[in-house]
Structure 1
């Protein structure tokens, strides 16, 4: 069962919220009705549910909510998990809430607990009822991963997914389905280079668009409207016009559309229109195709580890403000594990400008945030030398030649 994506509000947090992230917590409380809003906190995914739930409750109550823990988690000691899932008092507590918050941890604990064997529990039914009544479903990290119809369950190796080493029920699984069917949500996105697993999943699982939320950022989703809040941004990955060459012996896509949205930016999923934050519209508009465009990044950088921490973000900034119309990077493993069936295969990432590429810089003094719309990406399998390089050997010393005046 999937909940209607038009009912309530979803808040997807990319994980690792910083101490000064009260804007995200406050937005959850405001969406739930403001001061006094009852919020049910599920530490189900957490490895230390008591500690994590106490932190979440404190953050929400600091912003005016009345937050209560729903003590259902595999790592809670001395409880009867099945009894609590069907406890009328706990179900009534959730049903009376205006918002539900899922902690981080391991997303498989959430789906396996609330929907064991694919069968929805009464507790999950109560959570869906909160959403259907116009309430809020929020989650961070693992709690964000469960929001889409499909989710990554345990796919930590991005390159392995690109090489096809992922299986239903293990690396990916059914999520809870609080957003549109064709939207795949992922978290810790740019920090952990997770476009490597996002692209094969979109292509194989029938999802047209991916929403990759970075750490210390959140995306508020209500109906078709997305809004980015927090201290970082999110990447929209659209394969609606991308092509795939089935004759190639490894994963490939050409013409993927990428757009990076910063805090304060919004996007309409129906129209495809992005509205930059007001401070961006008052700042510097960047159009590399415009007459008189002056690049701010002259030196081109080749990204030897495009899936490394923050590398895709840096590559997009270089594409927008650099002199070259394309930016290249490589995804490969210099020491493949024994189970790698394609040890010499890597993937070239080619980011390039296309008609309509445009961006904005933040106008605030000292700010370095930007918005970028309409970059294109090709991912092409390549053969990589193993080892990629070898040390130079010392040359034999040459005898000195006598010179005469």
Structure 2
């Protein structure tokens, strides 16, 4: 569960990013995180989902240092003992932004789940710090973590209970379940069946999938805003009338009705409380080219 917000604080932004596959998009998306973390005064902690010496970790560290962040540290999570270290808990209390890089989300949860470091990450967001996850690792921000898809032909992505697997995540946000795919343009072929299945498991959930080089930020007022080059798929179960997933066998199709589905591009918002999508003013609709990667 998300940590309670102490009196006098506002919950920090929570950023989900799809895979960053283009160098230009990487720079613009990183700048969006850098801005939210405080810009030139940013104190950043990178939490690697893969090994600390992974090229993405080093690429993020170099970019942030080049952007003149005040400090950039890398949390070396080699085993669960690392997540009990008092020095890392103290360090989390001082940072303005936390960046979780792409990799195997189960690896990270296996090291952090139920530890003081995981608790410190939740407290940091409740005290106004921005948390950001990139690619597959962004799913760990959710309480209901959707695990990456297992290799299978696209035509087999039909509505069966076994289409997705859940695991407990860090619980930074409890309503949004995030799904990620490395390939662009897969929303209707793969993400839609997977998110429909997630919502059928628990209609409380709002499923979100992102194209590569695309992000979604959730602010304290429960507004989700899309930014970047592609689109976000949102599957909201708040008006589900019926689901038969509970009665279906593992490989049998099930029924679900009353689901809200939205595809939103950069600048569009979705209110998680009101369950309403909103378009940006005409003057703010991004144009093709550089502007589509502009900071949110």
Same fold (TM over 0.5): yes
2:136 and 2:181 in contact (8 A); partners too: no
1:135 aligns with 2:138: no
The 5 A counterparts of 1:39-188 are 39-43=44-48, 45-46=49-50, 49-65=53-69, 66-73=71-78, 81-115=79-113, 120-156=114-150, 157=152, 159=156, 162-165=159-162, 171-179=165-173, 181-188=174-181
Partner Cα distance (2:39, 2:134) in 1: 20
Query: Unaligned 5+ residue runs, structure 1?
Result: 74-80, 284-361, 370-405
Structure 1 residues 91 and 107: CA distance shift in structure 2, 3 A:
same
The corresponding residue for 2:28 is: 23
Q: RMSD value over aligned CA atoms?
A: 2.9
Instruction: State the secondary structure of the residue aligned to 2:141.
Output: coil
Structure 1 residues 152 and 232: CA distance shift in structure 2, 3 A:
same
Larger radius of gyration: 1
Instruction: State the secondary structure of the residue aligned to 1:165.
Output: helix
Structure 1 residues 233 and 173: CA distance shift in structure 2, 3 A:
same
Partner Cα distance (1:227, 1:365) in 2: 18
1:32 and 1:136 in contact (8 A); partners too: yes
2:267 and 2:286 in contact (8 A); partners too: no
Instruction: State the secondary structure of the residue aligned to 1:71.
Output: coil
> By how many angstroms is 1:161 displaced?
7.2
Instruction: State the secondary structure of the residue aligned to 2:209.
Output: strand
Select 2:231's aligned residue among 233, 240, 264.
Answer: 233
> By how many angstroms is 1:174 displaced?
0.9
Instruction: State the secondary structure of the residue aligned to 1:23.
Output: helix
Q: Deviations over 1:69-89 (max 9, x none)?
A: 11114xxxxxxx244222222
Q: Structure 1-normalised TM-score?
A: 0.60
Q: Deviations over 1:31-73 (max 9, x none)?
A: 1122131110011x21574422101112323333232111114
Partner Cα distance (2:129, 2:115) in 1: 19
Select 2:37's aligned residue among 28, 32, 37.
Answer: 32
The corresponding residue for 2:2 is: 2
Q: Deviations over 1:192-236 (max 9, x none)?
A: 422221111111134342111221101111121111111112011
Select 2:17's aligned residue among 10, 13, 16.
Answer: 13
1:228 and 1:262 in contact (8 A); partners too: yes
1:166 and 1:172 in contact (8 A); partners too: no
Partner Cα distance (1:161, 1:207) in 2: 22
The 5 A counterparts of 1:200-211 are 200-211=197-208
What is the aligned residue count?
272
Structure 1 residues 113 and 184: CA distance shift in structure 2, 3 A:
same
Partner Cα distance (1:23, 1:172) in 2: 31
Partner Cα distance (2:107, 2:228) in 1: 27
> By how many angstroms is 1:165 displaced?
2.4
Structure 1 residues 229 and 272: CA distance shift in structure 2, 3 A:
same
Partner Cα distance (1:126, 1:83) in 2: 15
2:52 and 2:76 in contact (8 A); partners too: no
> By how many angstroms is 1:105 displaced?
0.9
Instruction: State the secondary structure of the residue aligned to 1:35.
Output: helix
Structure 1 residues 103 and 365: CA distance shift in structure 2, 3 A:
closer
Structure 1 residues 242 and 215: CA distance shift in structure 2, 3 A:
same
Partner Cα distance (1:48, 1:130) in 2: 22
Partner Cα distance (1:150, 1:139) in 2: 15
